[in-house]
Amino acid sequence: MDKTLIIIIGSTGVGKTDMSIEIGRYFNAHIVCGDSRQVYKEMTIGTATPTNEEKAQIPHHLFQYVSALENYNVGRYESEAMEIITELFKTHKNVLLVGGSGMYIDAVCKGIDDMPDVDKTLREELNELWKSEEGRKNLLEELKNKDSEFYDKIDKNNRVRVIRAIEVCRSTGSTYTSIRKGKAIKRPFNIVKIGVERDRAELYDRINKRVDMMIEQGLEEEARSVYHLREYNSLQTVGYRELFDYFDGTTTKEEAIELIKRNSRRYAKRQMTWFRRDETIKWFSPNDIKGVTDYITSL
Q: Which of 291, 295, 240, 286 is nearest to 263 (CA)?
A: 240
Chain segment 218-236, per-residue pLDDT in tens: 999 999 999 999 988 889 8
In whole angstroms, give the CA distance from residue 22 to residue 2. 22
What is the model's pTM? 0.81
For residue 240, count other CB atoms closer than 10 A to its CB.
25
Q: Does domain 4-112+183-298 have CATH number 3.40.50.300?
A: yes
CA count, 13 A, side-chain hemisphere, 281: 21
pLDDT in tens, 87-102: 999 999 999 999 999 9
pLDDT digits (tens, 9 = 90+) for 15-44: 999 999 999 999 999 999 999 999 999 999
The pLDDT, as a whole number, for residue 124 is 81
Residue 116's pLDDT band, with cuts at 50, 70 and 90, is low
Check for a shared fold between 4-112+183-298 and 120-180: no
Statement: 120-180 belongs to CATH 1.10.20 = yes
Q: Which helix (H) or strand (E) holds 8?
A: strand 4-10
Going from N- to C-terminal start, the domains of the chain cover 4-112+183-298, 120-180
Collapsed DSSP state (helix, strand, coil) of residue 102: helix
